[in-house]
Amino acid sequence: MLELLFGLHCVEAALRQPERVVELWLAAERDDARLQKLAQTAENSGVRLHRVKRQQLDHMVGHERHQGVVLQVRPAEARSESFLEQLLIDLDVAPFLLILDGITDPHNLGACLRSADAAGVHAVITPRDKACGLTPVVRKVACGAAETVPFVQVTNLARSLRMLRDNSVFLVGAAGETETSLYQADLRGPLALVMGAEGKGLRRLTREHCDLLVRIPMAGSVESLNVSVATGICLFEALRQRTS
């Protein structure tokens, strides 16, 4: 089944994989340099190109903010457990992974993917059930990161956590009730950061598989952060330690 992608960053990233691309629609009312570049890239790759009224694009994507560009692609399949196992074998540096324990909001997932790409994460791992997948909204919010960061959906998250531990990957979970600060943790070696779902946090079984639980110190009156904000903070503290 084909799917529609929209948004400039997302479409630019998808066009780098022309084997997946079917058709491109551009808003006829917009003719700036950025859309001209997209049109040229599409024509060079043999992609069918259409200039249409913006209202048609609105109708195609359900009035999402498309920025004047919609792309039809063959969907990229999420990776599986076997990809993750092979990744650990192939990496010649310490693994840096992000595990999302059941995030259901596509905007949060997209933002987490964007932060993961910026921090140099090797793969993002989620459970296949009761969690958001790579929807068009996720790809739009991710601003191209969904096309570059390997996205692994596993059927049994607890089993995958055990596999990572067996491969000497240190599992660090974020939990607000623990006493250990994020900034006290050593995040420099083979690492998987484990973030809980919106409002619920880590599930019990996921928490039990973590080697360490950490919290983000809070100086104000709010008790918790949005999961995508918390993910960004944890990822970049890890990146700081790993590059210092």
62/93 same-domain check: no
How would you label 155-180 residue by residue, b for 16+ Cβ within 10 Å and e otherwise?
eebeebbebbeeeebbbbbbbeeeee
238/213 same-domain check: yes
Return the residue matching tokens 């660090």: 172
Burial of 84 (0-12, 13-18, 19+ CB in 10 A): buried
170/98 same-domain check: yes
The candidate with the shortest Cα–Cα distance to 22, out of 49, 52, 40, is: 49
| Residue 114, C-beta contacts closer than 8 angstroms, at least 6 positions apart | 141, 142, 143, 145
| Residue 69, C-beta contacts closer than 8 angstroms, at least 6 positions apart | 6, 7, 8, 11, 24, 25, 26, 27, 35, 38, 57
108/204 same-domain check: yes
Gap between the Cα atoms of 124 and 114, Å rounded: 11
The candidate with the shortest Cα–Cα distance to 69, out of 129, 123, 14, is: 14
Per-residue confidence (pLDDT) for residue 6, from 0 to 100: 84
67/88 same-domain check: no
The pLDDT tens digits for 2-36 are 788 888 888 888 888 778 888 888 888 887 888 88
Gap between the Cα atoms of 78 and 242, Å rounded: 27
* Six token digits for residue 220: 């104000």
Q: How high does pLDDT run on average in the chain?
A: 89
Average pLDDT over residues 180-195: 96
The pLDDT tens digits for 81-139 are 899 999 999 999 999 999 999 899 999 999 999 999 999 999 999 999 889 988 888 98
- Looking at 17-105, list the stretches that DSSP marks H as alpha helix, in order from N- to C-terminal side: 33-44, 54-60, 81-90
Last residue of a domain, one of 21, 44, 73: 73
Last residue of a domain, one of 32, 47, 73: 73
Count of the separate structural domains present in the chain: 2
42/111 same-domain check: no
CB 93 within 8 Å of CB 243: no
Q: Which domain holds residue 186?
A: 81-243
Per-residue confidence (pLDDT) for residue 60, from 0 to 100: 84
Per-residue confidence (pLDDT) for residue 195, from 0 to 100: 96
Average pLDDT over residues 66-90: 86
99/215 same-domain check: yes
The pLDDT tens digits for 125-137 are 999 988 998 888 8
Per-residue confidence (pLDDT) for residue 209, from 0 to 100: 96
Per-residue confidence (pLDDT) for residue 201, from 0 to 100: 86
Return the residue matching tokens 């039990």: 208
42/121 same-domain check: no
58/133 same-domain check: no
Instruction: Kindly report the CATH number assigned to the domain that includes residue 29.
Output: 3.30.1330.30
Average pLDDT over residues 216-226: 81
57/101 same-domain check: no
Instruction: Kindly report the CATH number assigned to the domain that includes residue 113.
Output: 3.40.1280.10
106/159 same-domain check: yes
Per-residue confidence (pLDDT) for residue 22, from 0 to 100: 85
32/69 same-domain check: yes
Last residue of a domain, one of 20, 54, 73: 73
Give the DSSP per-residue string, 206-230: HHHH-SEEEB----SS-----HHHH
pLDDT of 223 > 80? The answer is: no
Q: How confident is the model at residue 199 (pLDDT cuts 50, 70, 90)?
A: confident
Per-residue confidence (pLDDT) for residue 170, from 0 to 100: 98
Gap between the Cα atoms of 127 and 92, Å rounded: 26
